[in-house]
Structure 1
Amino acid sequence: MKPALRPPTITDVATAAGVSPMTVSRVLNGRGGAGEETRQRVLEVAQALNYRPNAFAQSLKNDRSNTVGIVVPDIVNPFFPEIIRGAELVARPAGYTLLSCNVIEDPEREEEVLGTLLDKRVDGVIICSARLDDERLLHAIAPHRAVVLINRSAAKRHAGTIEVDYRSGVEAAVTQLVAQGRRRFGFAAGLASSHGGRKRREGIEAVLARHGLALVFDAPCTPDIKGGAEIAARLLPEAARLDTVVCYNDLIALGLMKPLERAGVRVPEDIAIIGCDDIPAASLVSPALTTLRIAKQDLGEMAMRMLLDRIAGRNAQQGIVIEPDLIWRATTPTL
């Protein structure tokens, strides 16, 4: 068996070009110090040999890896790939490689991944909808050079933040439904560890309290279609007590709708349903889902720009709050 061919080194380029390794280094790093003929010869030889600089060695020398991480709770949820896409659109032109990490809604894995990214010497990290509690999250991000949190608050010395104002969005939707005569609200709350879930509940309860009402159904579930089906199983025996269900996200709402239909519960006549996120399927199901729309790609782009600023030591913009848009469709009564 032939031994594997080793990748070419800077010494190989220097020997083939008839110059010193120092000259090759200066040419490839754009530092000058060589005539035009020598520069062209070095570049041609490097290309012919398919020479690639040792990125790890360069990162040690420059204290930069030109990589950044993005951590999401569940890559299967259509909400998060669009955020990753937006982040990638900003990172790549800036010369950064984006490492995407899926923690499958597991706080332990989230903590482990943040440690792994630190070991990989990433220059910064974006964390979407962190599931760690405040103390563990702050401990995990403290060693990182630059951090941006999406849908989580933190002091500016710890991280830049971009938050969606779910509370005001839910308040607007519930206010409309109360004005239409809806009184018996339920909440399919998602994970108990979700910061955004707590904000949604606050929005519902604020409106209901103003009208002397209270939630008649409030249950946690996984933030996916299976979670919606589980909510349906719990909700159906007491469906007559409800006329509206606000869901943590669209996936839960979609998982809830089919069991209701099979049970003969009409949407929205018997129970109105509201989702959150406006994933593509929300407008394709029948009846089409009323939801809160977040510009997810824009969210990723904003987060990456903020992260690059923090990597560069420019921390002028510490926090952004985004207002979601209420998209009124057929799972709620006509306005």
Structure 2
Amino acid sequence: MDVKTQTRPATITDVAEAARVSPMTVSRVLNGRGGASEETRQRVLETAVALNYRPNAFAKNLRNDRSKIVAIVVPDIVNPFFPEIIRGAELAARPAGYTLLTCNVVEDPAREEEVLRTLLEKRVDGVILCSARLDEKRLAQAIDGHRAVVLINRVLPKRAAGSIEIDYRAGVDAIVEQLIAQGRTRFAYASGPATSYGGHKRRLGLVAALERHGLALAIEIPSTPDLAGGIEAGQQLVRKGAAIDAIVCYNDLIAVGVMGVLKEQQIAIPADIAVTGCDDILLAGLVSPPLTTLRVAKEDLGELAMRMLLDRIEGRHTQHGIVIEPDLIVRGTT
């Protein structure tokens, strides 16, 4: 066995030359396909170890038309809702031999398009897209060409993508019903991003519940889905002098921002105004009073999405769409 010192990584050809066999024999031995004598097999294995040979995973995956990389795209990595989803997806991806790439599009639809285009160019095997902000036509165009796509909180035809949808309409409907039962009649809505599919569903649930009781939405305030957006929404309520006794917020971050402003103005929660959020992030149970919200098992959601994606990568379209009912978590703000 002639093992030469070299600075570059060893190739399968280097192993073949040093072991005095063909590259095909080296490939068969290293992949356990047989076809070589025991003496030849041992010589090849010892040579590979001596040369510190590492198989070229990229080339192997290219031959198999697989990158073994999947991606998850989120609107804002700072929002505590999304890291738990990412963690769940990672827990399902790794045992299946996939590396998970996380992409943050900072609530920008144009960047969302750009990222999806780049992922297609990089030949990722599949994409999980959380809370896409693109309109339906642009979204369909952006995912066209990808091997497999799963949408969280968006729905497209099943041939284009699998989907996991949280039933925010039913969840917010349940919140409003409970608040009306307490005697609340003047509702505000801090609505989050105008491009949010989930925000639209929340609003449908809110309006439907109000209409059943002959009530109408008193005021709607668009807001960015973060603490700063919640503070601005609360300040707008104060400036407008809105006579409300309940505010339904797009998410928990907005709700916590609103609560801070109400406290500064000496407005009692929930005696004067009830406040509700959505998502049940960790902060929701730590503020004072603790926040009433809708709970989704976020890590489970990520794992479920990844399993659906892996099925679609392998051509097993056993599930195209799943709807998850959120749990109403009643706390001190109502």
TM-score of the two chains, using structure 1 as the length reference: 0.94
Of 280, 289, 313, which aligns to 1:311? Answer: 313
Partner in structure 2 of residue 113 of structure 1: 115
Q: Which residue of 2 aligns with 1:183?
A: 185
Question: Which consecutive unaligned segments of at least 5 residues does structure 2 have?
Answer: 1-5
Distance in 2 (CA, whole Å) between partners of 1:171 and 1:209 is 11
| Aligned equivalent of 2:257 | 255
Distance 1:234 1:184 in 2: 16
Structure 2 Cα separation of the partners of residues 37 and 208 of structure 1 = 81
- Distance in 2 (alpha carbons) for counterparts of 1:281 and 1:287: 11
1:171 aligns with 2:173: yes
Deviation at 1:232, TM superposition (A): 1.1
2-structure distance, mates of 1:283, 1:183: 26
Q: Equivalents in 1 of 2:328, 2:96: separation in Å? A: 34
CA positional deviation for 1:12:
2.2
Cα deviations by residue, 1:24-43 (Å, 9 ceiling, x for unpaired): 21223332223445434434
1:218-297 to structure 2, matched below 5 A, reads 218-239=220-241, 241-297=243-299
Distance of 1:279 and 1:104 partners within structure 2: 19
Over 3 Å counting, the alpha-carbon distance change for 1:26 and 1:213 in structure 2 is same
Amino acid at match of 2:63: K
Matching residue within 140, 151, 154 for 1:152: 154
Provide the C-alpha distance between the structure 2 equivalents of 1:53 and 1:117, rounded to a whole number of angstroms.
24
Per the alignment, do residues 106 and 37 of structure 1 end up closer, same or farther by CA in structure 2, a change over 3 Å counting?
farther
CA distance change for structure 1 residues 162 and 15 in 2, over 3 Å: closer, same or farther?
same
Measure the CA separation in 2 of the matches of 1:47 and 1:236.
72
Distance 1:326 1:239 in 2: 29
| Structural RMSD (CA) | 1.5
Measured in 1, the distance between the counterparts of 2:41 and 2:273 equals 73
Q: CA deviation at 1:45?
A: 3.7
Given that residues 276 and 291 in structure 2 are in contact (C-alpha distance below 8 angstroms), is that contact kept between their aligned partners in structure 1?
yes
Which of 22, 45, 59 aligns to 1:20? It is: 22
Question: 1:182/1:87 Cα in 2 relative to 1: closer, same or farther (>3 Å)?
Answer: same
| CA distance in 2 between partners of 1:13 and 1:74 (Å) | 47
> Helix, strand or coil: the match of 1:273?
strand
* Distance (whole Å) between structure 2 residues aligned to residue 210 and residue 48 of structure 1: 77
Match of 2:128 in 1: 126
CA distance in 2, matches of 1:36, 1:243: 82
CA 114–264 in structure 1, closer or farther in 2 if over 3 Å, else same: same
SS of equivalent to 1:53:
coil
TM-score (normalizing by structure 2): 0.95
Contact kept in structure 1, 2:71 and 2:126, CA below 8 Å = yes
For residue 216 of structure 2, what is the amino acid of its counterpart?
Answer: A
Distance 1:220 1:14, change over 3 A: same
SS at match of 2:173: helix
The residue that corresponds to 1:69 in the other structure is 71
Secondary structure in 2 matching 1:92? helix
- Where does structure 1 lack aligned partners over 5 or more consecutive residues? none
Deviations 1:254-285 (A, max 9, x none): 11111111111111111111111111111111
Give 1:290's aligned amino acid: T
Decide which of 74, 85, 88 is 2:87's aligned counterpart: 85
Distance 1:12 1:247, change over 3 A: same
Distance 1:39 1:259, change over 3 A: farther
1:215 CA displacement = 0.8
Secondary structure of 1:223's counterpart equals coil
- Secondary structure of the structure 1 residue equivalent to 2:101: strand
Q: 1:62 to 1:235 in 2, by over 3 A?
A: same
Deviation at 1:108, TM superposition (A): 0.6
3-state SS of paired residue (1:321) = strand
